[in-house]
Chain A
Amino acid sequence: MSVATKPAPPAGASSLAQNQLPRYTTQLVLVLSIAAGAGLSALFGGFSIVSFAVLSVLAFLVVNTVLSGVVEGRRKAKDKLVTGLVYTAFGIALVPLVSVIWSVVDNGMARFSIDFLTTSMRNVTGLNDQQALEGTAPFIGGAYHAILGTFLITGLATVISVPIGLLTSVYLVEYGRGRLAKAITFFVDVMTGIPSIVAGLFAAALFAVLFGVGTRNGFAGAVALSVLMIPVVVRSSEEMLRIVPNELREAAYALGVPKWRTIVRVVIPTAISGIASGVTLAIARVVGETAPLIVTAGFTSSINNNPFSDWMMSLPAYVYSQAMRPLSGSSPQPSFDRAWAAALTLILIVMLLNLVARLIARLFAPKTGR
């Protein structure tokens, strides 16, 4: 490695100057390390992507640090070592994220189409799948009923959770004093940690008591999801309401505005962008819940518009049923493809919700323009 070092400054030139490596050194070392990593990996027991990555990173960290230590001194060497480690950690964190998205997109695109989004599984049987594989009939069967179910169930869960959650947080921030407020905060924290299957069993048991054992419908699923959603909404809205400056409340009181109007017209509007994006993220959090929906809303292959009666499909349950119980035992591939396509749909919905959250936050943010 021919890395030029600047000549040491002549004595007395400047007491502040010291040896420095040229700025492109790090990039150069990186390129060389990757080359060396590839070479070493091929040398020791055949090329593999894992040993290539590990060897390249190790080579880079060692060479870059040692080189810097020799030329520039200890402090700079430490700086380069830690910078390298931070980037490595970042890279490792990206691996699962990218690979999940990659595999879902790669496998899901096979069946992902307008047709998939607009048809249900009604009257689709293993025979259709076999014929499709043989090429004698087109692939049929989609996830429309599951998408519809997911939207209905999550929508209902939002309608239940947002008023309860928002009002609870208003109570905690504006009114709650003493033991009751502390107890509520404590139980909200506990609820945040409830496993989702427990929430599902709670809703299933509640509906069994109220409407008879074995009652499953979309509304029961929505109740299960709101058990999971309420604590998230309470927590995020509480944070947002707390950061509204007290001065704004006092300004409103000093104008002779009653407390409830101050909350409704000043405090909540000031915090609305944060509350709205918190709610959207809470929705994104529960939209992929599987276990509570399986025990409360069940499975179906037909479109069900009514969340208050009969079983209702949801996207996670659809993925689960297509992957674990393919329509045709002998040729399961079409079912697997459908499961991947549904997973892709779910990821797209979550992504969309996150974008919506950002948009809402920007739209409602207090204006500061001049």
Chain B
Amino acid sequence: MSKRIDVGDLNVYYGSFLAVEGVSMAIEPRSVTAFIGPSGCGKSTFIRTLNRMHEVIPGARVQGKVLLDGEDLYGPNVDPVTVRRQVGMVFQRPNPFPTMSIRDNVLAGMKLNSTRLSRNDAKDIVERSLRGANLWNEVKDRLDKPGSGLSGGQQQRLCIARAIAVQPDVLLMDEPCSALDPISTLAIEDLIGELKKNYTIVIVTHNMQQAARVSDRTAFFNIAGTGKPGKLIEMDDTTKIFTNPTVKATEDYVSGRFG
């Protein structure tokens, strides 16, 4: 259930503004790929094109190809809803549904789509997903309480549980730890290590130590200046990017000499 992603010469636009230019990359299944780079360089914009969340913003569009196991996400007659069922996403800020209990939040992917679930199946999915997100022991006695009553770190793990409950092929994470404390961050990094056994994981992060800790491959994005499009500078094994990058800009960025 883990799929590979191939991106071919992708341009991303907001209206007429070219935000990301000419990205080509291959993302291996059952691995963690990290995107690093300065703010505004288009990492988040790019990751949102991988499950067609980009086009939710009015005027946003994409040129190029994104292949999920060889099938083009942007091909004619492709329904973005179907794409998003296979490519899940976790956002920067934890966003559990405030009207739902913890249990319903985990089941949101099915409940919102009115998928019929037997009571036992629902119970299994809730337990499996919450265990998968390392949250089961903390919330098993209060599954009927609202999800918004949890701490920030717990809410973020609840969102991860919600994303893996629908068993996607790919899990995109847009700075999942940026709103969390170091302990919760550690919990989520451990979780990413677990999840990569089953999922293709793409993570955007501003924290280079985090990228070094969790990822197998790292992509460095950069921007030439304000108003210029962001570009993929270099992509390689994480150890190579952090120890012996090919491009000077990458070395400057990872060693803190940027700007």
- From B91, B114, B145, B166, A251 is in contact (CB under 8 Å) with B91
Whether A254 touches B163, Cβ cut-off 8 Å, given contacts A366-B146, A369-B146, is: yes
Are the CB atoms of B56 and A245 closer together than 8 Å?
A: no
Are the CB atoms of A258 and B108 closer together than 8 Å?
A: no
Are the CB atoms of B145 and A250 closer together than 8 Å?
A: no
Are the CB atoms of A262 and B112 closer together than 8 Å?
A: yes
Which one, A64-72, A107-115, A265-273, is touching chain B?
A265-273
Quote the shortest CB–CB distance from B178 to chain A (angstroms).
Answer: 14
Report Cα–Cα, A245/B96, bound state, in Å.
11
User: Which residues of chain B have C-beta atoms less than 8 A from A245's C-beta?
Assistant: 95
Q: Give how many A-B residue pairs fall within 8 Å (CB-CB).
A: 89
Of the A-B pairs whose beta carbons lie under 8 Å apart in the complex, a sample of 28, sorted by A's number, is A177-B58, A248-B95, A248-B98, A249-B56, A250-B53, A251-B162, A254-B51, A254-B53, A254-B89, A255-B163, A256-B84, A256-B85, A256-B109, A256-B113, A256-B166, A257-B112, A257-B113, A262-B112, A266-B97, A270-B97, A366-B98, A367-B98, A367-B149, A368-B98, A368-B149, A369-B145, A369-B146, A370-B145
15 additional contacts (CB under 8 A) given A262-B112, A367-B149, A368-B146 = A247-B95, A248-B97, A250-B89, A251-B91, A254-B53, A254-B89, A255-B85, A255-B112, A256-B83, A257-B81, A257-B109, A269-B99, A366-B99, A368-B98, A370-B145
Quote the shortest CB–CB distance from A315 to chain B (angstroms).
Answer: 37
Q: Which residue of B lies closest to A364 (CB)?
A: B99
- From A177, A249, A252, A270, B98 is in contact (CB under 8 Å) with A270
User: Which residues of chain A have C-beta atoms less than 8 A from B51's C-beta?
Assistant: 254
Quote the shortest CB–CB distance from A182 to chain B (angstroms).
Answer: 14
Q: Which residue of A lies closest to B90 (CB)?
A: A254
Are the CB atoms of B81 and A258 closer together than 8 Å?
A: yes
- From A247, A252, A370, B112 is in contact (CB under 8 Å) with A252
Report Cα–Cα, A262/B97, bound state, in Å.
11
User: Which residues of chain B have C-beta atoms less than 8 A from A171's C-beta?
Assistant: none
- From A250, A269, A368, B91 is in contact (CB under 8 Å) with A250
Chain B residues engaging chain A, CB cutoff 8 angstroms? 51, 53, 56, 58, 81-86, 88-89, 91, 93, 95-99, 108-109, 111-114, 145-146, 148-149, 159, 162-163, 166
Are the CB atoms of A255 and B88 closer together than 8 Å?
A: yes
User: Which residues of chain A have C-beta atoms less than 8 A from B53's C-beta?
Assistant: 250, 253-254
- How many residues on the A side are at the interface (Cβ–Cβ under 8 A)? 25
> Which residues of chain A from 325 to 370 have any CB-CB distance to chain B below 8 Å in the complex?
366-370
Q: Is A261 among interface residues, defined by CB-CB distance under 8 A?
A: yes
Quote the shortest CB–CB distance from A177 to chain B (angstroms).
Answer: 6
User: Which residues of chain B have C-beta atoms less than 8 A from A368's C-beta?
Assistant: 98, 146, 148-149
User: Which residues of chain A have C-beta atoms less than 8 A from B82's C-beta?
Assistant: 256
User: Which residues of chain A have C-beta atoms less than 8 A from B83's C-beta?
Assistant: 256
Quote the shortest CB–CB distance from B159 to chain A (angstroms).
Answer: 7
User: Which residues of chain B have C-beta atoms less than 8 A from A266's C-beta?
Assistant: 97, 99, 112
Whether A251 touches B113, Cβ cut-off 8 Å, given contacts A256-B81, A256-B82, A369-B146, is: no
Quote the shortest CB–CB distance from B209 to chain A (angstroms).
Answer: 27
Report Cα–Cα, A351/B108, bound state, in Å.
39
User: Which residues of chain A have C-beta atoms less than 8 A from B89's C-beta?
Assistant: 250, 254
Whether A251 touches B109, Cβ cut-off 8 Å, given contacts A257-B81, A366-B146, A369-B145, is: no
User: Which residues of chain A have C-beta atoms less than 8 A from B95's C-beta?
Assistant: 245, 247-248, 250-251
User: Which residues of chain B have C-beta atoms less than 8 A from A262's C-beta?
Assistant: 112
